[in-house]
A and B are shown apart, each in its own frame.
Chain A
Amino acid sequence: MTIQDVIKLLDATPLTCKDKLDGEVMSACGSDMMSDVLAFAKCKCVLLTGLCNPQVIRTAEMMDIVAIIFVRGKMPDEAMMELSEEMEIPLLATPHRMFSACGILYETGLRGGSMDG
């Protein structure tokens, strides 16, 4: 699956890095706790989150997350958008809530990695 596929599935709007949406997506992580993302996210992962602050982008940078999807219509501010362009991590916004957005992606076969972290 690519980021473009995720956009279609989640009725998402791409907000930044619109020329970098062909990247491959192998797994997903849904969390508002960046501590958990840092402990459990897998490779080529998209991050679904309701948290909207610059540390979300920093965390994504450290974990090589391929795209960040803000759920339930949360919108990042200008500074966050600039940081995402600098880090080359696309930001997307979906109107779906966290549970639904995760469910839609799970249904297509995307997984979050094994339970042992």
Chain B
Amino acid sequence: MADILEFTYEISDDDFTRAGEASSDVKKKLKKLGVSPDVIRRVSIALYEGEINMVIHANGGKITIQISEDSITMILDDKGPGIPDIDKAMQAGFSTAPDNVRNLGFGAGMGLPNMKKNTDSINIETKIGVGTKVTMVINL
């Protein structure tokens, strides 16, 4: 089995001005590793959307990035309220974000659909009142 490079990030509660710092760091690391620009772009978009979601809906959480020879896996684990209806949440335009988040330019209901669009697989495990774990994989 090939070596797996792993990074973890703790995403703090609802400090919206800092949302995106983890995604920014991952982007820099992938650039240094010489990953192709197209893959970096897809990872950046999917991860940033996920990070924003964690800040908006779940008061933060933990992000784990695993880089192997043939794939990049992003695991976003939070202890937020859970997603009551995943099918609905995956619909473009469906949003439960509050107005203050919309005023900041987010909450258009494009997050999860955009995460799906930019990754090769997305798996969402969620339990109401317990949390949500989103696992996204991009093949190299």
Are A and B genuine complex partners? yes
Interface status of B110 (Cβ within 8 A of chain A): yes
B41 to chain A, nearest CB (A): 7
B27 CB-CB contact with A under 8 Å:
yes
- The dominant DSSP class at the B interface is helix
Q: Is the interface of A mostly helix, strand, loop or mixed?
A: helix
| Residues of B contacting A35 in the complex (Cβ-Cβ under 8 angstroms) | 105-111, 114
Identify 19 residue pairs between A and B in the complex whose beta-carbon atoms are under 8 Å apart, listed by A's number. Answer: A33-B108, A34-B104, A34-B105, A35-B105, A35-B108, A35-B109, A35-B110, A38-B45, A51-B105, A55-B19, A55-B104, A55-B105, A58-B20, A58-B24, A59-B48, A61-B20, A62-B23, A62-B44, A64-B41
**Sample of 7 further A-B pairs with CB below 8 A, known A32-B105, A63-B45:** A35-B106, A35-B111, A38-B45, A38-B48, A56-B105, A58-B19, A64-B37
- Chain B residues at the A interface, C-beta cutoff of 8 Å: 16-17, 19-20, 23-24, 27, 37, 41, 44-45, 48-49, 52, 104-111, 113-114, 117
